[in-house]
Amino acid sequence: MASMIPIAGSAYTYAYATLGELTAWIIGWDLILEYMIGAATVSVGWSQYFVAFLQDAFGVDLLYSRWTSAPIIWENNQFQSSGAIFNAPAFVISMIVTTVIVFGISMTARINNVLVAFKMTVLIIMIFALIPFINTDNYHPYIPPNDGTYGQFGVSGLLQSASTVFFAYIGFDSVSTTAQEAREPQVNLPIGIMMTLLISATVYIAISVVTVGVANYTQLGSGSPLVYTVKLTGMKWLVILTEIGALAATTSVILVLLIAQPRVFYAMANDGMIPRVFGKVHPRYKTPYVSTLVSGTICALCGGLLPIGVLSDMSSVGTIFAFFVVNIGVIILRYTRKTVPRRFKVPGGPFLVPGIGAASALLLLQGAKQEAIIRLLVWMAAGVLVYLIYGRTHSEVNNPRLVQEEPMQIIHENYSVNSIGEPRNYQGYTDEDLRRQYERQLARRLNLDHPLDDNCVEDMNHEMHIYQVPSSSPNTRHSPPESQRQPSDPEESLSGTTLPPT
């Protein structure tokens, strides 16, 4: 999907192209849980590793501080006060990462590359260092029997735990949100997603094997199980290295998720589904700075106030739902967009792999905690209400006159006003969506309430040159795509890659 529709927005964009506006809105609203709350979840984990690092490296004990824990907990099926004031480390790391992201995708990518390289090195060292301490007796029973309560070990425990940690898959999804800032997205995105999936799965399995082999599964319920496992070996240097690696790993995850969330807001704002202020691009750094600051601040507050269990459950069910819709979208696109060029095609025909993916998503939703499902439904109901009040009445599809005449913009920090008209490598998405957007802009120019039909467009093509922009009138308020040259022939705009689809 990312290679076929290389536009910011991830599952929101895919749903818009396949299932329509209302479904796209529901997915976009759901992605807030997926990215923003997912980043808040990881920030709480970062806080726990930070506290452990200060204690082991410098002897500073903040474990029972009222400023390193969430003031709200979930017990006995209700929210209660924990006695703490605020999780300050979780709040601070989210705001630091947000600030870094505002300064551009290139700098953010360089920082992320360093963090990923370091954490992979630490994980490999830890895996080989723990192998001599493995006790094979800890692998029995391989699946601990259920203790009589649904979700407590056994098969139901497997399903519930898998649904709880499913937000780990957000990282693969978030790669697709940067499609408009990638080089050759039709080729590089599938390779990047599949390679990260393969590498991450291999490392995750290896870490799980050595961790459970060294420490019995009944001992791994702490906030930092990896650190606890390494402490059993008595190697203090490895403990400190593991904690630093965990801090680097969680920081990179927060970074990726907070990069993805603003780009979903950006796509929704360009479609008119949310206020267009969320689509503002910084004139210098070429990033959606308004949506970045808003989503980063909300993420920081959630990390500072809510416990990790509540956050992870909310994020995971949202992620599972989004994956379900994307799998269904793949099947639909095979029939509704047969002629669209596909650089990467899902194997197994239109049903096998997407069908298995959709079915597994439903299975995981069935295994999710009841309170997590209820929170998802309440969140979705609130989203539908917002759509009826604002999104439906302001969307570009339904209200072409409400949208500015300027073409929708694409983020790219390497853009400069002098690059208009120069050949670039950016590959836009070409499909009938491009034609529909052109029709909507014609309708806005003619002050109509609905887009023109195809016959009217053919008659108007040689009269309405709404995309022709003089090369001497630069537009620096937004950052257009690398290949956004303004054609003098309207027919050219229908076949080229000037504008992204809505």
Largest CA distance in the chain: 80
Collect all residues with Cβ–Cβ distance below 8 Å to 412 and sequence separation of at least 6. 180, 181, 286, 426, 479, 480, 481, 482
The verdict on whether omega for the bond into residue 262 sits within 30 degrees of 0, i.e. cis, is: no
Gap between the Cα atoms of 484 and 491, Å rounded: 15
> Which of the pair, 145 or 346, is modelled with greater confidence?
145
DSSP classification of residue 387: I
Are residues 55 and 188 in contact, defined by beta-carbon separation less than 8 angstroms?
Answer: no
| CATH class of the 35-307 domain in this structure | mainly alpha
Of 168, 208, 219, 216, nearest to 45 by C-alpha is 168
Gap between the Cα atoms of 93 and 154, Å rounded: 37
Mean pLDDT confidence for 393-414: 55
pLDDT band at 359 (very low <50, low <70, confident <90, very high): very high
Average pLDDT value over all residues in the chain = 77
Q: What is the pLDDT of residue 433?
A: 46
Query: Percent of the chain at pLDDT above 90?
Result: 28
Of 165, 82, 171, 220, nearest to 369 by C-alpha is 165
pLDDT band at 342 (very low <50, low <70, confident <90, very high): confident
Gap between the Cα atoms of 181 and 395, Å rounded: 24
Residue linked to tokens 């995971």 = 316
Of 256, 244, 8, nearest to 112 by C-alpha is 256
Strand partners, 81: 72
End-to-end Cα distance, the chain: 15
Gap between the Cα atoms of 242 and 245, Å rounded: 5
Of 111, 101, 131, 29, nearest to 377 by C-alpha is 29
Cα dist from 357 to 16, 28, 122, 229, 363, whole Å: 20, 20, 32, 34, 10
The dihedral sign for the CA sequence 9, 14, 18, 23: negative
Find the helix packing angle between 88-102 and 236-270, rounded to 10°: 60
Domains of the chain, by residue range, sit at 35-307, 404-502
Q: What is the pLDDT of residues 308-338, one digit of tens each?
A: 888 888 888 888 888 888 888 888 877 877 7
Q: What is the pLDDT of residues 259-318, one digit of tens each?
A: 888 888 888 888 888 998 898 888 888 888 999 999 999 999 999 999 988 888 888 888
pLDDT value at 25 more than 60: yes
Of 227, 170, 172, nearest to 45 by C-alpha is 227
485 burial level (CB within 10 Å; 0-12, 13-18, 19+): buried
In terms of average pLDDT, the best of 1-5, 247-251, 338-342 is 247-251
465 burial level (CB within 10 Å; 0-12, 13-18, 19+): middle
Q: What is the pLDDT of residue 418?
A: 40
Residue linked to tokens 């497997």 = 158
Q: What is the pLDDT of residues 72-103, one digit of tens each?
A: 988 887 888 988 999 999 999 999 999 999 88
pTM for this entry? 0.72
pLDDT band at 465 (very low <50, low <70, confident <90, very high): very low
Rg (CA), the chain: 24
Q: What is the pLDDT of residues 200-231, one digit of tens each?
A: 889 989 999 999 999 998 888 876 788 899 99
Gap between the Cα atoms of 185 and 267, Å rounded: 17
Find the helix packing angle between 11-18 and 21-31, rounded to 10°: 170
pLDDT value at 401 more than 60: no
| One-letter amino acid for residue 18 of the chain | T
Q: What is the pLDDT of residue 75?
A: 83
| One-letter amino acid for residue 135 of the chain | N
